[in-house]
Amino acid sequence: MSDAKQSRKERVFTVELNSGSDLRKVNVPNGTQRILVEGTIGTLEHARFVEDTVLELVGSGGVLRVDLAREDLEKPSPKRTGERL
């Protein structure tokens, strides 16, 4: 698979918080262990798509952006065993 096709399947997210006090937990261990970033963006003010390719959730305490296109939500995906909604 080409690099362009592989990178298109990967999704990107950013978390922008107005204050470090909204950050509850960050765990970045060495090696191949899970990484956890936990916090709050506060009360949801609005959700929108930016240029149809990024879902942006704006809260009173920050912004969460995910590389997710509108059509990604429209196409059905096979449910994996044990997957939560």
CA 73 – CA 71 distance, rounded (Å): 5
Q: What mean pLDDT is reported for the chain?
A: 82
How confident is the model at residue 1, as a pLDDT? 39
Say whether pTM exceeds 0.95: no
CA 7 – CA 76 distance, rounded (Å): 21
Domain boundaries, the chain: 8-74
DSSP symbol at 24: E
Cα within 13 Å of Cα(16), Cβ side: 10
